């Protein structure tokens, strides 16, 4: 049996704003409406489904493998918005990217405190 990741829900105080932020930073097509979600499509048929939630939202971590060209665009958009970014998940290296496993990686916060990551090489290196 093949198990494939299909979608995840990102809880948001404003699903439209959160989905637009994510799509813009990652250079993806505009979010689409589906039921009560704002849906952003990523590779391999996977979707990131943004939904409104009242009250406190527990921030989550979402990491995305991107090409070198996509990484350059992501960094340009992060810097263009004046967002703080880090080379590490502990946030001890602000304003830096990492070069783990021969690639590049960056962490940054989105709306509602979700912690996003873009990396060009999977952890442990290319397989």
Each residue's pLDDT tens digit, 6-19: 999 999 999 999 99
Q: Taking 70 as the threshold, does the pLDDT of residue 83 lie above it? A: yes
Query: Alpha-carbon distance 29 to 48, whole Å?
Result: 12
- Asked if pLDDT for residue 31 goes beyond 70, the answer is yes
* pLDDT score for 60: 97
Please, are residues 59 and 13 in contact by the beta-carbon 8 Å criterion? no
Cα four-point dihedral sign 48, 91, 101, 58: negative
Beta bridge partners of 117: 63, 107
pLDDT at 1 over 90: no
Q: Where are the domains of the chain?
A: 7-119
Superfamily of domain 7-119: 2,3-Dihydroxybiphenyl 1,2-Dioxygenase, domain 1 (3.10.180.10)
The rounded distance, in Å, linking the Cα atoms of 50 and 38 is 5
pTM score? 0.94
Encode pLDDT of 53-74 as tens digits. Answer: 999 999 999 999 999 999 999 9
Tokens of 99: 């070069």
pLDDT at residue 73, as a whole number = 98
Helix count and strand count (H, E) for the chain: 2, 8
């Amino acid at each position: 049996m093949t198990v494939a990741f299909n979608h995840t829900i990102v809880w948001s105080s404003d699903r439209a704003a959160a989905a637009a932020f994510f799509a813009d930073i990652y250079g993806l097509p505009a979010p689409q409406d589906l039921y009560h979600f704002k849906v952003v499509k990523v590779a391999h048929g996977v979707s990131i489904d943004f939904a409104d939630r009242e009250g406190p939202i527990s921030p989550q971590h979402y990491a995305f493998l991107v090409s070198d060209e996509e990484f350059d665009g992501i960094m340009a958009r992060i810097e263009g918005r004046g967002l703080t970014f880090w080379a590490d998940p502990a946030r001890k290296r602000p304003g830096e990217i990492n070069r783990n496993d021969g690639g590049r990686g960056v962490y940054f916060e989105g709306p509602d405190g979700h912690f996003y990551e873009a990396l060009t090489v999977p952890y442990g290196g290319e397989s």
